[in-house]
Structure 1
Amino acid sequence: MREPVGGFALVLHSHLPWLPHHGTWPVGEEWLYQAWAHSYLPVVDMLRRFADEGRSDVLTLGVTPVLAAQLDDPYALRAMHDWLGNWHLRAQYAAVNWRSADHRLRDLAAAEHRASAAALADFETRWRHGFSPILRGLVDSRVVELIGGPATHPFQPLLDPRVRGFALRAGLADTRLRVGSVPAGIWAPECGYAPGMEREYAAHGVRRFLVDGPALHGDTAFARPVGDSGVVCFGRDLEVTYRVWSPKAGYPGDAAYRDFHTYDHPSGLKPSRVTGRAVAPHEKKPYEPALAAAAVERHAADFVETVVRRLTDLRARHGRPALVVSAYDTELYGHWWHEGPAWLEAVLRALPGAGVEVTTLGSALERYTGDPVELPASSWGSGKDWRVWDGAQVADLVDAGAALQADLLDLAAPTPTRDPVRDQAAREALLALSSDWAFMVTKDSAADYARRRAKVHGERYAELASLLRAGARERAAARAAELRAEDGLFGALDARDLLTDR
């Protein structure tokens, strides 16, 4: 077998903030169920097909603990089943009410009806016990390498090291409970990094993590040991990644693809294609699957050519085969970009035939490791620094988060047994510290919802802390039980772990 031109590691980062019991529309649970139906179900279905074919090391799958908790949550599972049934009914409504419309709309309604029926059958057959049994099967078959992360996806550089360690330990422990093992790699939330964090990773058994390309000055051709820590970082190759991700020229903006933003409001379906960036919603043309399928084929071929060209250039520059790491939010594939799962499968099937070794981060280490590096403070956000999460727009959230952390550490106590009140207080604190809230405010994406969520969880934490300090144990226990009914994720979380040194 000839030596590959180089390696390609696809990393999918699956994450949503905790949404059950916190609103439905336009932001809240609907966000979860749309992503579940249109991204998680089809991506898992694709991975299952690869597993059935005996393929391994297809991609590196990041699943944040807070998302895994939602995909296993009994309330969310029941509500998701209802949502899928509602999708099926909406498609049936469209099939009846679009009968006299353009034949393309009639065909779309029929396709939606078939898709919703298939999703319902898949969910009822395979997902009835949640995501963890499915994920464990994918991990055990080695079709994916699983990477984890801190519990509620906080922006780690802004955390007190003790809180940072607590969040990471809680996240890794939760993943162990769900899949039976602790991942050796993590998706550092928002790729946020501060110098020295690699030593904390090493202390917690984390052996690899991701940074954005500019943190390595664009030199992303190899995995890089970080100093002498024994921990390795991988950098996103932006030259390749932005073929998809770029808001100006990325594939999802093609005129033939389904338009994410244009709804038929009576049915809730999306009947239009992108048509053009400056085209008003009411002027967009009906979606045509054949046109979209042709675009998928064209863009998959272009991406494979881009990867081969990039690897050929890197091999000439370095004198040996190199690695391309492309990392994306899983929710891009299907939820935001309807045709994304089909494109993804086409690319992963075509790359080996083009002489590219498809690999995971862990399996890439033997062939594609370079010299040690020292990393600067960085993220994958705007400016590749921390401005999205600590800029002027979110200064109040940063200050509130710092005060909350100090109070949480002050509240910690070495009790002989677990204290459900302190556990719930810690849960609410971690939810308040989610990186999503600052991101949504800075990007003006449901900013009011994000501020409300940060405020609600901060106030719930403060209420429990106040009751504990006042010695009102019965009231505190009753209130903690009420809150746990809504925010009961991470059932094994132990607030006493805040006192752990490592």
Structure 2
Amino acid sequence: MIGTFCLVLHSHLPWLAHHGRWPVGEEWLYQSWAHSYLPVIDVVRRLADEGRRDLLTLGVTPVLAAQLDDPYCLRGMHDWLGGWLLRAHGAAPRLPELAAREHGLASAALGQFETRWRHGASPIFRELADAGACELLGGPATHPFLPLLDPRVRTFALETGLTDAGRRIGGRPAGIWAPECGYAPGMEYGYADAGVRRFLVDGPALRGDTALGRTVGDSDVVCFGRDLDVTYRVWSPRKGYPGGRDYRDFHTFDHPSGLKPARVTGHTVPPEHKGPYDPERAAVAVARDAADFVRVVRERLAAIREQLGQPGLTVAAFDTELFGHWWHEGPAWLEAVLRALPDAGVRVSTLRGAVDAGLVGEPVRLPAASWGSGKDWRVWAGEQVADLAAQGAGVQRDLLAVVDSPGCRSLPRDPLRDALAGQAMLALSSDWAFMVSKDSAAGYARSRAELHAARVSELSRLLLDGGRAAAARLVAGWGEDIVFGHLDARGLRTDAFHP
């Protein structure tokens, strides 16, 4: 083998259940579920059924896993798939070829969901992990940007998330996708205390030296860097395979049905002039781009082997939602690549497998980093979102003020304090600042951050003033906004915190 290739997929959406439906809200969950999670997992399952192992490393954030197991979301997803089928029926008189194609896709997705997913995603993920087909990554509870958190809140978020994963899949993950690949010097010690042995950073944090995993500082925690030369071949801020002219265009809709009838055609071609989507042309493009990617990986690993004097490693990491949701043909491309790489002399493995194979180099000191714009923290703490960063700091102060208040240490588990911690976790999600910085449904993001922060502020005031009856009425009015039933705010107390 010329070297090792690790594919890492990061599956994440914020908590959307009960917070709007369309165009912003639960629709995001159901679209990603139907067009990415279902087909990507189907690819992994079919390859696993052939006896293939260590196919990829799959990150599923706790807040997404909670929605993929939630009975309300499962009912909503089933309804959404039925709606997709009806939309295909409705388009038949006007667009018969498109309607027939979408009817087939919707029927297949509905069949998969009804036979494999109706009891939630966790049994599926656990089965694939137990079979050795993939390694599962965990993460902190609601995907907060960890460098901006108080150490106690950071530890609590990570512990809550890892505990949640353990309950769902039968064991705590030893690897995480650090939210937004965010890192601050010293965070590796918190990871080690939590049992985390490996995590992701972006390539520039390692100055592009991503040919091996690296232990961080004097810890035994290993970081892996995204190889941007390889990753950006697929998807970058400016280019990548999904923009190919023969792929289905994500942005062009048949508005009466909501279906997508066009191919990309060209980047400057307006929607009304785009050519019709042709699955056969798209299949040719998939084969071409899969072969190109395999060539790129081989060349990269050959250069690494020459540089190191031994086989090395390349890590390509993407959002799972790219494959299928954003890039309709993405799952087919994934399958083609995973089949072709071993035949091209490339060992396909997981991050755990890379460590087991000894693909770990000398220790490294990491700088403050992320995978956002500028590879620093500006997306989550820059001028454009300074108010959200300040709001998040206030949320943490309110939360810790209640936890540290007199008498709290002697109290048993308290559902009101648990509710306070749960709302704080939702307020601190990194998604809100990201969406504002990128001007992607920024109004929704601000409203969600403000909603949860206001709840924390009001509930903390009532608890500090001794108004437990009013606090109980307040929490009861929040309805179904309980993400983690096992969340225990006592984990934030100073006597439970080990720096």
Shorter-chain TM-score: what band? over 0.9
- Give the residue type in structure 2 aligned to 1:223: G
Write the distance in 2 (CA, Å) between the matches of 1:257 and 1:407.
Answer: 49
Write the distance in 1 (CA, Å) between the matches of 2:466 and 2:72.
Answer: 33
Matches for 1:271-310 after TM superposition, within 5 Å: 271-310=261-300
Write the distance in 1 (CA, Å) between the matches of 2:165 and 2:338.
Answer: 27
Equivalent residue, structure 1, for 2:497: 501
Matches for 1:342-421 after TM superposition, within 5 Å: 342-365=332-355, 366-412=357-403, 413-421=408-416
Say whether the 8 Å CA contact 2:152–2:492 is kept in structure 1: yes
SS in 1 for 2:313: strand
1:131 pairs with one of 112, 121, 130: 121
- Give the residue type in structure 1 aligned to 2:482: G
Matches for 1:198-277 after TM superposition, within 5 Å: 198-277=188-267
SS in 2 for 1:414: helix
Write the distance in 2 (CA, Å) between the matches of 1:380 and 1:205.
Answer: 24
Write the distance in 2 (CA, Å) between the matches of 1:354 and 1:44.
Answer: 24
Write the distance in 1 (CA, Å) between the matches of 2:168 and 2:410.
Answer: 27
- Give the residue type in structure 2 aligned to 1:280: P
User: Which moves more between the two structures, 89-98 or 263-272?
Assistant: 89-98
Equivalent residue, structure 1, for 2:486: 492
Q: CA deviation at 1:247?
A: 3.6
SS in 1 for 2:392: helix
Equivalent residue, structure 1, for 2:187: 197
SS in 1 for 2:364: coil
User: Which moves more between the two structures, 437-446 or 366-375?
Assistant: 366-375
Say whether the 8 Å CA contact 1:271–1:287 is kept in structure 2: yes
Equivalent residue, structure 2, for 1:457: 452
- Give the residue type in structure 1 aligned to 2:401: D
SS in 2 for 1:38: helix
Equivalent residue, structure 2, for 1:150: 140
Does residue 470 of the first structure (1) align with residue 457 of the second (2)? no
1:166 pairs with one of 135, 139, 156: 156
Equivalent residue, structure 2, for 1:426: 421
Q: Aligned pair count? A: 491
SS in 2 for 1:326: strand
Say whether the 8 Å CA contact 1:418–1:494 is kept in structure 2: yes
Q: CA deviation at 1:427?
A: 0.6
Q: CA deviation at 1:398?
A: 0.5
Identity of aligned residues (%): 67
- Give the residue type in structure 1 aligned to 2:288: R
2:319 pairs with one of 326, 329, 332: 329
SS in 1 for 2:92: helix
Write out per-residue CA displacement over residues 7-44 of structure 1, whole angstroms, 9 at most, x where no aligned residue.
Answer: 00000000000001111111110000000000000011
Give ranges in structure 1 of 5+ residues lacking alignment: 99-105
Say whether the 8 Å CA contact 1:223–1:234 is kept in structure 2: yes
Say whether the 8 Å CA contact 2:420–2:460 is kept in structure 1: yes
Write the distance in 1 (CA, Å) between the matches of 2:93 and 2:465.
Answer: 62
- Give the residue type in structure 2 aligned to 1:414: R
Q: CA deviation at 1:486?
A: 2.6
Say whether the 8 Å CA contact 2:177–2:200 is kept in structure 1: yes
Say whether the 8 Å CA contact 1:68–1:132 is kept in structure 2: yes
Equivalent residue, structure 2, for 1:94: 91
Write the distance in 1 (CA, Å) between the matches of 2:333 and 2:361.
Answer: 31
Does residue 13 of the first structure (1) align with residue 33 of the second (2)? no
Q: Residue 299 and residue 415 in structure 1: after superposition, are their counterparts in 2 closer, same or farther (change >3 A)?
A: farther
Say whether the 8 Å CA contact 1:68–1:131 is kept in structure 2: yes
- Give the residue type in structure 1 aligned to 2:497: D
TM-score, with structure 1 as normaliser: 0.97
- Give the residue type in structure 2 aligned to 1:22: H
In angstroms, what is the RMSD of aligned CA positions? 0.9
Write the distance in 1 (CA, Å) between the matches of 2:115 and 2:322.
Answer: 25
Write out per-residue CA displacement over residues 121-180 of structure 1, whole angstroms, 9 at most, x where no aligned residue.
Answer: 111111111111111111111101001000000000000011000000000000001001
- Give the residue type in structure 1 aligned to 2:491: D
Say whether the 8 Å CA contact 1:12–1:327 is kept in structure 2: yes
Q: CA deviation at 1:473?
A: 1.7
Q: CA deviation at 1:406?
A: 1.3
Q: CA deviation at 1:416?
A: 3.2
Q: CA deviation at 1:474?
A: 2.1
Write out per-residue CA displacement over residues 410-465 of structure 1, whole angstroms, 9 at most, x where no aligned residue.
Answer: 11132532111111111111100000000000011111110001000111112221
Write the distance in 1 (CA, Å) between the matches of 2:290 and 2:187.
Answer: 37
Write out per-residue CA displacement over residues 65-93 of structure 1, whole angstroms, 9 at most, x where no aligned residue.
Answer: 00000101111111110000000000111
Write the distance in 2 (CA, Å) between the matches of 1:41 and 1:474.
Answer: 44
Say whether the 8 Å CA contact 2:139–2:177 is kept in structure 1: yes
Write the distance in 2 (CA, Å) between the matches of 1:248 and 1:373.
Answer: 30
Give ranges in structure 2 of 5+ residues lacking alignment: none
Write the distance in 2 (CA, Å) between the matches of 1:174 and 1:386.
Answer: 27
- Give the residue type in structure 2 aligned to 1:465: S
- Give the residue type in structure 2 aligned to 1:407: D
SS in 1 for 2:290: helix
Equivalent residue, structure 2, for 1:102: none
2:19 pairs with one of 4, 19, 22: 22
Write the distance in 1 (CA, Å) between the matches of 2:196 and 2:352.
Answer: 12
Write the distance in 1 (CA, Å) between the matches of 2:321 and 2:329.
Answer: 12
Say whether the 8 Å CA contact 2:398–2:456 is kept in structure 1: no
Write the distance in 2 (CA, Å) between the matches of 1:117 and 1:471.
Answer: 55
Write the distance in 2 (CA, Å) between the matches of 1:108 and 1:292.
Answer: 14
Say whether the 8 Å CA contact 1:415–1:496 is kept in structure 2: no
Write the distance in 1 (CA, Å) between the matches of 2:220 and 2:397.
Answer: 31
Equivalent residue, structure 2, for 1:103: none
Write the distance in 2 (CA, Å) between the matches of 1:231 and 1:301.
Answer: 35
Does residue 141 of the first structure (1) align with residue 131 of the second (2)? yes
Equivalent residue, structure 2, for 1:439: 434
SS in 2 for 1:260: coil
